[in-house]
Structure 1
Amino acid sequence: MKTLLAATAALLTTSAFAADYQVDAAHSFVTFEVGHLGVSTTVGRFNELEGSFTLDDSGKSGSAELTIQSASVDTNHEARDKHLRSPDFLDVKQFPTIIFKSTSFDGETLTGDLTIHGVTKAVSFDVEKVGEGKDPWGGYRAGFEASTTIQRSDFGVSYFIPGVTDETELEVFIEGIRQ
């Protein structure tokens, strides 16, 4: 009985110091950069995403989940975006989502499982807290930026390497609304 009470108290204490946030998709973005033909960098983003995160009061632990609609890829060039949606790259009909689920967070590094093109790999993001505070509508928000570099071939996306670099830089800009 004491063990059950102690476990319940620990759970309640932990919950009291953690906050759940819903990602505000209107103020959140996932971008990527790849090299093109060794002469330039192509930048793109995904326009549709949703997710949530939990953060303790110290900002030193938490969790995050993010789901991106693959077909929302946008490089500001319609023909290129159509090609990126094709089986050569993201194959959005077969793999409609890109998913990240964290496994750990220490306040500076967010580690988790990233699934692209049906392949799941562990990745770590460098995280920087941008800020937090009350918003004008009576809510409370927190924002973060995170970055990592992946090899797209690790996820089965190897078309036209090295013309389009294997190394892909990902940047995540997240604003969440406390629930």
Structure 2
Amino acid sequence: MSRIKRWLNMHGKEFNADGTLKDEVRQQKLFRGSDPGAIDSYARRCKAEYDEWKRLDETDPEPWPVYTAYDFFTAEEKRQFNPDGSLNPKYVQEALDKGISEGWLEEMERRKKFEVDNYNRVSEKHAEQGINFGAWQMRGRIGNSTTYVQRRQQMEQDLRNFEDVDSLPFDKDTVF
């Protein structure tokens, strides 16, 4: 998503698509008693920011990695489901052989398809606002995994320092 699109999402009520202050906004500000020089200064600063963001879009576009709902499936879900949320025929046969009902398999598929459709809707809505939903979700997952490692390392240190067990982030018997 372009920086300009994000800028317009933030300032679009006051500014035109070319980054200039809307005439009716100028008139409202004058009517409220704002100083004309202050209005012009505000309009110039915002237009300069707009022009800089536009230049950056043209010379150094931001990367926009595309993630699908499938990228967030667990390993087991990837074995069971196709990227669109439908059940993998091989998995269906395995499940039926194990005695899992067809009704339950249909329900699993219905739920996963709903999850995939929901991810796609949310991703599309966020993209309209200049937000890469998939990248945001992925950063959260990566952040959670590094946080876990850091908390675990801190817990190991706390145990070596004989800290009170109640103050530890995890149960010491389940971590080590």
Global fold match (TM > 0.5): no
Higher helix share: 2
Larger radius of gyration: 2
Higher strand share: 1
